[in-house]
Structure 1
Amino acid sequence: MEPPKIAQDPVANVTLTVVRNLEDQHDWTGLEIVSALSHRPLVRGLPPRRLYTHPDDQIASLDHERQTGERLFQEPELEWVLPVRLAEHWTMARFAAVFDSIPEHGPRGKRVVLATVHNDSTVVYYLMHEGVVKPRQN
């Protein structure tokens, strides 16, 4: 019996590896593979907690916590994930094309979770923002 064609496609393999990792190891829900947006499939899903807080929102949250003693709960947001293999060579133009293909990500601009898959199927995640982003408070 011939293996499914998806198993022979390295881009599909890396995408499925990332989807399984997000589901099984990181408890993401509502995952879907969206291929119509860019030259590469993107994954869209909901993490169990918010991945990123904009620095302005972080300052407001810290002020609230200082004044009231209670932390603000921040709902998780749907995220775009770009699965790539570690050995791939990406240029700024390729990343720009991915950002151009996704709709605005709320009032704070666009971001993508870069999911880098190593040959042993280890996945490392990085947040990538379009343009310049104000540094976070420590």
Structure 2
Amino acid sequence: MTRSGDMKPAVEPSPLQSLLTDPILLPGSTHLPSLQTLAIQVQHDLRYQHSWTDLRLHFRSPLTNEPLPRPLLSGLPPQRLYIHPDEQVALLKTADQQRKASKEKGANKPLEVTAEPEHEWILPTRLNEKWTLHRLSDVFGGIGMVPPAAETAATEDMRPANPWRTTKRVVLATVDPDSTVVYYIVHDGVVKPRQN
């Protein structure tokens, strides 16, 4: 069946479709184009659906300058993703002290617990991929505790500002074939469970 001249033209592709169908020539990458496209898709989702800032693609290890097992992202979420249980207790104590001090001054201030957001590593994956401890270990082996502040940052600058951050972690971004993205926090090793 042929289209007649009076029919409407095909629907324009979405901005994300246009972004992903353009030829990808990312400098410094030796990774497969499908992995680069996956990383760009997750970067787009984090920026426009979850309001992350300072998003950057990483193809080389900031520790060794060797190629990473796959492209990683780093970025700053709008709010803290993970609070260590001991830090949670300390934050609650501080907030309670501030509330009691305001109560003595005649103000009835509510309990406000705040934790500044931290830069995070993001590992883009597909739902049908099989991840093993060995593959995750390869990823953790190529990254520092926190992402570098800039591509030229020294290894010393990759120490966390938060003293409670004692293990490496990544946000595992799992993309479903229907473009749904689900995020999980994965730690390198055993961590203390959160308190409810």
TM-score normalised by structure 1 residue count:
0.90
Unaligned runs of 5+ in 1: none
C-alpha separation in 1, matches of 2:171 and 2:119: 11
Aligned to 1:11: 35
- 1:66, distance to aligned residue in structure 2 (A): 3.5
1:34–1:41 CA contact under 8 A, matched in 2: yes
- 1:63, distance to aligned residue in structure 2 (A): 2.2
Local SS of the residue matching 1:10: helix
Does the alignment pair 1:55 with 2:96?
no
Does the alignment pair 1:94 with 2:135?
yes
C-alpha separation in 2, matches of 1:137 and 1:66: 17
1:59–1:137 CA contact under 8 A, matched in 2: no
Instruction: Give the total of aligned pairs.
Output: 136
C-alpha separation in 2, matches of 1:14 and 1:59: 38
- 1:9, distance to aligned residue in structure 2 (A): 2.3
Does the alignment pair 1:127 with 2:168?
no
Change (3 A) 1:5 1:67: closer
Counterpart of 1:42, as a letter, is L
1:31–1:44 CA contact under 8 A, matched in 2: yes
Q: Superposed, which structure 2 residues align to 1:6-45 within 5 Å?
A: 9-37=33-61, 38-45=68-75
C-alpha separation in 2, matches of 1:3 and 1:64: 51
C-alpha separation in 2, matches of 1:109 and 1:135: 14
Aligned to 2:166: 108
C-alpha separation in 2, matches of 1:126 and 1:104: 17
**Residue of structure 1 aligned with 2:175, choices 109, 114, 117:** 117
Unaligned runs of 5+ in 2: 1-20, 26-31, 62-67, 100-110, 147-159
1:61–1:71 CA contact under 8 A, matched in 2: no
C-alpha separation in 2, matches of 1:103 and 1:39: 14
Point out the structure with the larger helix share: 1
- 1:59, distance to aligned residue in structure 2 (A): 1.0
TM-score normalised by structure 2 residue count:
0.65
Q: With CA pairs under 8 Å and 6+ residues apart, which has the higher RCO, 1 or 2?
A: 1
- 1:43, distance to aligned residue in structure 2 (A): 0.2
C-alpha separation in 2, matches of 1:32 and 1:3: 19
C-alpha separation in 1, matches of 2:179 and 2:48: 13
Counterpart of 2:183, as a letter, is Y
- 1:3, distance to aligned residue in structure 2 (A): 5.1
Counterpart of 1:95, as a letter, is L
Aligned to 2:11: none
1:85–1:118 CA contact under 8 A, matched in 2: yes
CA RMSD, 1 decimal: 1.8
